[in-house]
């Protein structure tokens, strides 16, 4: 079974406080329509590149293999799971935001991608510290995934960021596929 964990992009959607709202404009011509969008690259389900918080960080040089492969969905409402050794991709469902220490622990455990269903991986009052702890250690961040209908467990993640040259993040289309 496939689970589309991508939040739909639509006018009126919730965005990170201070970010521009999503806008969709459609023009009708004689025999066709053309739509345009205006949005932050951090709108909807997206990844953060190192340059989002690191001045000399990469923008779009992550290998696609980081975003595809075995993933573990964990119920974060029960607190930080602690032992995540051997999990290359971890998606956290619920919770209040990853602390700087938890971010370091995830990186040290070998996590290559960490994601959340929240607008940010970090608590709103510790944004920079958590992001820097992950991004400076090469950990990819996936934010604002729709994990509402997904149970904790093992899945295959397929997450494809847009190729935006020079951007500090990118919208994605993401799916979890049941391993069974």
80-106: per-residue pLDDT in tens? 666 677 889 999 998 888 999 999 999
Predicted confidence band of residue 139 (pLDDT cuts 50, 70, 90): very high
pLDDT of residue 125: 81
**More confident: 112 or 52:** 112
Residue 71 falls within a domain, yes or no?
A: yes
Q: Which residues contact residue 71 at a Cβ distance below 8 angstroms, ignoring those fewer than 6 apart?
A: 87, 88, 89, 90, 91, 113, 154, 155, 156, 157, 176
pLDDT of residue 83: 66
Reported as a single tens digit per residue, the pLDDT across 3-33 is 999 999 999 999 999 999 999 999 999 999 9
pLDDT of residue 80: 66
Q: Assign residue 130 the CATH number of its domain.
A: 3.50.30.50
Residue 18 falls within a domain, yes or no?
A: no
Per-position DSSP letters for 124-154, written without gaps between them: TTSHHHHHHHHHTTT-EEEES---TT--SEE
Residue 5 falls within a domain, yes or no?
A: no
Residue 118 falls within a domain, yes or no?
A: yes
pLDDT of residue 151: 94
Residue 77 falls within a domain, yes or no?
A: yes
**More confident: 30 or 56:** 30
Domain count of the chain? 1
pLDDT of residue 95: 83
Whole domain around residue 67: which residue ranges? Answer: 42-178
pLDDT of residue 24: 97
Mean pLDDT of 128-150: 94
Active-site entry in 42, 52, 126, 131: 52
Active site residue 52: yes
Residue 103 falls within a domain, yes or no?
A: yes
Residue 36 falls within a domain, yes or no?
A: no
Task: Tell me what the pLDDT averaged over the chain comes to.
Answer: 90
pLDDT of residue 56: 75
Residue percentage of the chain with pLDDT more than 70: 93
Residue 134 falls within a domain, yes or no?
A: yes
């Amino acid at each position: 079974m496939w689970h589309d964990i991508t939040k739909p992009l639509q006018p009126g959607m919730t965005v990170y406080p201070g970010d521009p709202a999503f806008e969709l404009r459609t023009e009708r011509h004689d025999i066709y329509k053309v739509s345009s969008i205006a949005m932050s690259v951090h709108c909807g389900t997206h990844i953060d590149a190192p340059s989002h918080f690191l001045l000399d960080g990469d923008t779009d040089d992550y290998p696609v293999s980081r975003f595809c492969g075995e993933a573990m969905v964990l119920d974060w409402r029960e607190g930080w799971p602690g032992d995540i050794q051997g999990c290359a991709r971890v998606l956290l469902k619920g919770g209040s935001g990853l602390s700087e220490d938890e971010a370091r622990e995830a990186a040290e455990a070998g996590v290559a991608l960490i994601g959340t269903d929240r607008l940010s991986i970090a608590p709103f009052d510790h944004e920079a510290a958590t992001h820097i702890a992950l991004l400076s250690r090469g950990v990819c961040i996936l934010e604002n995934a729709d994990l509402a209908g997904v149970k904790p467990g093992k899945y295959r993640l397929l997450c494809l960021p847009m190729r935006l040259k020079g951007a500090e993040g990118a919208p994605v289309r993401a799916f979890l596929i049941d391993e069974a």
